[in-house]
Homo-oligomer: A and B are copies of this chain.
């Protein structure tokens, strides 16, 4: 489909749009029945399938004036693919439910689909189905299926004495959001990181392969997500602030805003970095950096003390 530049969803109609979207999704070898039927059929060779769902809402998770449709597609796919990564798995298939106003430009919906397909392609996953409906605001809900070799890495396996390690950029997206919120467009590297995260997709399976005891992807904020691991495992975690590399653009934004740039690292979400715990003495795989230690007790501390300030993002304001 090559729609007129100003064509809207209502100009094109549901069925033509579904056909056009479906053409944008290449189907991989795991797909036995692809889009177009009542359900898709995906192979799950070892008899188990990982599944996770994330939803992104316009005005809350993205703004159409802050990010191109293609970037939003990358972000919503990344959020889901990252959940499989955090189990130590690899994604195989996605479904996409799109709710959108009738006056949404068709090119926006097509570019969204291209972004989702491209991000899924990074890990070899296929978009196998979806749903399309009218809604007052753009809502994109993605479900990911995946497979995992051996035992999946849960949040609940951290043990006192374990190393805590981080993989992937952390705090960049939060820095980019801080910049955009104040009406700026640079440092460009941070704005780009906000628009299109780069989750460390190889880090999850690598961590699982060396015996990671617990793992989570950072989406609520680093301290908040480490808190989820601590709570699920019944342990305390202490992070060592000196272990975090605070990248130069984050220092620049911190200086410009009069803020401690470490705050972006400790409380930012949406980069989809991974945090995992490993038995003491584990040689960390490529891309992983030790940032703390698991202890007896409960809660999360930084340099042995409670971190002062908000930890991350909570919906519904509580």
Contact = CB atoms under 8 A, between A and B. Distances in A.
Interface of A: 8-15, 17, 32-33, 36-57, 59-61, 82-84, 86-87, 89, 93, 95-99, 102, 128-137, 139, 141, 143-146, 148, 152, 154-156, 215-217, 232, 314-318
Contacts of A32: 48
B314 A14 contact: yes
Given A51-B143, A97-B141, A131-B54, A13 B232 contact: no
Nearest to A55: B97
A41 B315 contact: no
A67 to B, nearest CB: 17
A318 B39 contact: no
Contacts of A98: 55
A201 to B, nearest CB: 14
A68 B76 CA distance: 31
Q: Pick the 7 closest A-B CB pairs, nearest first.
A: A13-B318, A39-B52, A141-B141, A143-B143, A38-B86, A55-B97, A53-B95
B40 A318 contact: no
A317 to B, nearest CB: 5
B12 A318 contact: yes
A57 B133 contact: yes
Contacts of A314: 13-15
Nearest to A315: B14
Nearest to A39: B52
Given A12-B316, A43-B48, A55-B98, 10 more contacts: A9-B316, A15-B314, A37-B154, A38-B86, A39-B87, A41-B48, A41-B148, A43-B47, A53-B95, A59-B136
